[in-house]
Amino acid sequence: MGRRGGAKRRGTRRARRRRRGAVVTTAPVAAIQRGWQSCEACGLLSRPGADAGACPRCGEELAFRKHRSIERTWAFVIAAAVCYVPANLLPVMVTTTAAGSAPDTIMEGVILLWSPTGWPLSLIVLIASIMIPSAKILALVYLLVTVQRGSVANNAERVRLFRTVELIGRWSMVDVFVDTFTAALVQLQPLMAVEPGPGLLFFAAVVVLTMLAVESFDPRLIWDAAPSEEVVHA
């Protein structure tokens, strides 16, 4: 509600500016609305031909928007969501000690680390391994749904959300990284050995698939449904 109100307020501010006869070229104009295509590789704007074309400068395939962006993003998001289930249910780490081998899922690791002194680490694992992947998936689903429904609300926030998801993407591998690192380092046979479990594979798949989903999502789609009347005015 508040967000909608904020958008409305901004809209009225722009309108006021327009009425005062201020500079209007700052109003956002999408290239697609002009019928231009921008090259994804080199950023060159070009006017498309009758059919699909390629960038005259670098040869990149040109399209108004990323090729089948929504479809591909959906596919990756769904795949990531599918992998998210075994990633959390299967053990990511098998610790073999004299006591025998104990497989630990991510959640078990969080519980294991939870102690008066170890809670920060536990919290990091919880956030990095459980909350962030699910948040990424949910954020992408939200973006996809709003784009598909042609929503015009909170465009700026949604782009910011997308940027955040994109930024986090490369860091969320930290868990896989730590795990494989531990497995490589802790090989004190026969006292103790740590081996990656099958859950780790799925966990890595979740991270990679969400990164791919982010990669295939075209944030310009967020603006495509923006009210054209404002653009026309400008």
Cα–Cα distance for residue pair 156/164, rounded to 1 Å: 12
Q: Is the Cβ–Cβ distance between 31 and 38 less than 8 Å?
A: yes
**Nearer CB in complex with another protein: 79/173:** 79
Binding mask 176-205 for another protein (x = CB under 8 A): ----------------------x---x--x
Of these, 179, 216, 218, 222, which contacts another protein (CB under 8 A)? 216
- The separation between CA 57 and the C-alpha centre of its own chain, rounded to angstroms, equals 30
Binding site for Zn ion (CB under 5 A): 39, 41-42, 44, 55, 57-58, 60
Element (H, E) at 18: helix 2-19
Place of tokens 């006869």: 21
Q: What is the three-class DSSP state of 86?
A: helix
Instruction: Give the SS3 label for residue 169.
Output: helix
Residues 101-130 vs another protein: string with x where CB under 8 A?
A: xx----------------------------
Identify which of residues 74 and 223 has a Cβ nearer to another protein in the complex.
74
Q: Which of 38, 83, 194, 207 binds another protein (CB under 8 A)?
A: 83
Residue 64 touches another protein, criterion: CB under 8 A: no
The C-alpha atoms of residue 156 and residue 160 are separated, in whole angstroms, by 6
Residue 42's binding partner among another protein, Zn ion, none (Cβ under 5 to 8 angstroms by kind) is: Zn ion
